[in-house]
A = this chain, B = another copy of it.
Amino acid sequence: MRDFIERFEMGEENYLPHISIDCVIFGLSDDALKVLLLKVKDTESWVLPGGYVEKDESIEDAALHILRDRTGLSNIYLQQFNTTGSSGRSFPEDIKVICKSLGVKWTPDLWANKRFISIGYYALIDIEKCKPTGGDLDQEYSWIDMHRLPRLMMDHKDILLKAYESLKISLSNQPVGINLLPEKFTMPELQKMYEIILDKSIERSHFQKKMLRFDIFERLEERREGVPHKRPFLYRFDEKKYRDGVKKGARFDV
């Protein structure tokens, strides 16, 4: 908490001025696309996990660093999607509310009131494998359905929707979505993931034929147990075959 107050009041000493990072963390559960949001204490408002760039740190490292510190997550798939920087993009009224919830005195010349250009990253994680801790703010966090978003502070809703658009475009061109799945998955599970994110139903046999033609999934000897009807085979993503395919100009569009 002390760290956070220092960051908020005296950021200029440690960070590049006017530059922030916001992270949109996607996961799948209960057949829905979820996003990890942090609740501002004693309010009904939520924010994206975010932070600043240290003077001697790359923007990618800053994003990883922020994710680790704010949510306890590490080792995850990150993708830069957009940088937002309208003129006068500053949110003193929202900063006031956050200050109050943190017990920090708000003043007009607080570092966090300034204009910030925000570099956006989205992360894709397997919710089962990566358990967020509250992080250094010890805030309440929640996986929230993309289609049932609560009130978000600042322009975080716009940032989140841009990340979602960008994820959909990426998924239509590359198998990025496998980062949302466990290491071993069935074709029906893979299809479900595409359907949830793209928000449309996909014809089963066409989908499976296309996926298998990509030749980037290894079929294992195991089958998924405990499901009704015929137990489907498990598959694993073959990173090397995928990289080779990309080099040869293969397309992985759905």
Contact = CB atoms under 8 A, between A and B. Distances in A.
A87 interface: yes
Interface residues on A, range: 20 to 34
Nearest to A87: B58
A20 to B, nearest CB: 11
A59 B18 CA distance: 12
A80 B119 CA distance: 12
A64 B115 CA distance: 20
Contact of A56 (B16, B88, B249): B88
Contact of A173 (B85, B87, B117, B172): B172
Contact of A82 (B80, B88, B253): B80
Contacts of A60: 85-86
A41 B96 CA distance: 51
Contacts of A102: none
A244 interface: no
A53 interface: yes
A136 to B, nearest CB: 22
Interface string A13-27: 000111100000000
A147 interface: no
A2 interface: no
B253 A87 contact: no
A139 interface: no
Contacts of A200: 249
Interface of A: 16-19, 53, 55-61, 80, 82-88, 115, 117, 119, 169, 172-173, 200, 249, 251, 253
30 contacts: A16-B18, A16-B115, A17-B17, A18-B18, A18-B19, A19-B19, A53-B85, A56-B87, A56-B88, A58-B85, A58-B86, A58-B87, A59-B83, A59-B84, A59-B86, A60-B85, A60-B86, A61-B87, A80-B82, A83-B83, A83-B119, A85-B119, A117-B119, A169-B169, A169-B173, A172-B173, A172-B251, A173-B173, A200-B249, A253-B253
Given A59-B85, A173-B173, 10 more contacts: A16-B17, A16-B18, A18-B19, A56-B88, A57-B87, A58-B87, A59-B117, A60-B85, A61-B87, A172-B251
